A and B are shown apart, each in its own frame.
Chain A
Amino acid sequence: MDREPAPTEEEVEQARALRDALEGRGDHADAELARALRLAVRPTELPHLEHQAILHRTLAKLPNRRRSFALRIAGVGTSLALAAAVALLVSRGIVAAPGTERHDTVATASLMRSRTTQPLFDQPFPRQGGESARIDRIAWARGRDYRANLFERMGVR
């Protein structure tokens, strides 16, 4: 290195660090630049398997047309099944068709109708306490109405 000025201690230290980084031991900013140089001049091929992995990861995010088709078919099938079930219930007279009235007016008239819970309680409520008891009372009354309606419809009463 006749034509070169004598290196400073810092230069020697940096030179060692660069040498180590180029040989795969440690990092050095110039080693990063060296890699960029090499890859600009002699770019390497992307290994086939790595490319396939990248491709599959990306394509997995794409909505699958076949899956969409299958979902549409499933949706249509479910709708048809639901419509058939409703038609069956209507034909058996369990549910009234929209815009029609059931013929068993006697049974309909005797069914319990939705109503306020006010008659179940003395007004006014106390400011605090008694909530659970009131809810139990409502639940018991509703349960009784439900059972009465169920038995009425089944013709067991």
Chain B
Amino acid sequence: MNKDWELSQEAFDALLDWLDSDREQAALKYEKIRRSLIKIFTGRGCVEPEDLADETINRVTSKLKEIEKEFSGDRIRYFFGVANKVHLEHLRRKLPQPTPPPTNDPDRIELEFNCLERCIERLSKEHRDLLLRYHGAEGPAETEHRRALAEELGIAPNALRIRVYRIRMGLKECVEKCIERSHG
């Protein structure tokens, strides 16, 4: 790919059209592909997975006219083949250094913990109790504890996992915003 090639609005629109004729569905597919590629590059030990995911998408977009003529299979899977090439090239280049772990600054930890407390207080009582009870057992007792909790709520254990995950993601977002606000 020409390294100076940049994703124009026109090229991006063409990519969306190729992914799905419905623009809304196409945008969802684009987002999903990008998120999945980031996970795949992270899983392969890449320190800058977002850059590699964008490079993969750009490369597919830049060759879209040729691909449209020659390729007829699963469009999402096409990205996988390109991602493999991008990854191989990445391995040949100098690898970026992994991000050093954040330092354990006691003031920062306290700030984050205070944010967490505030965000948990903002949860509904139902969600707060569920979060606490779900995480209230660990080790060998954990599975049985969560199975019993799911039974009590009248849902499947996996549905409970997903429910708690969503509460947790909302909480994480709230904490991140709170920390950002605290840093001014």
Pair from one complex:
no
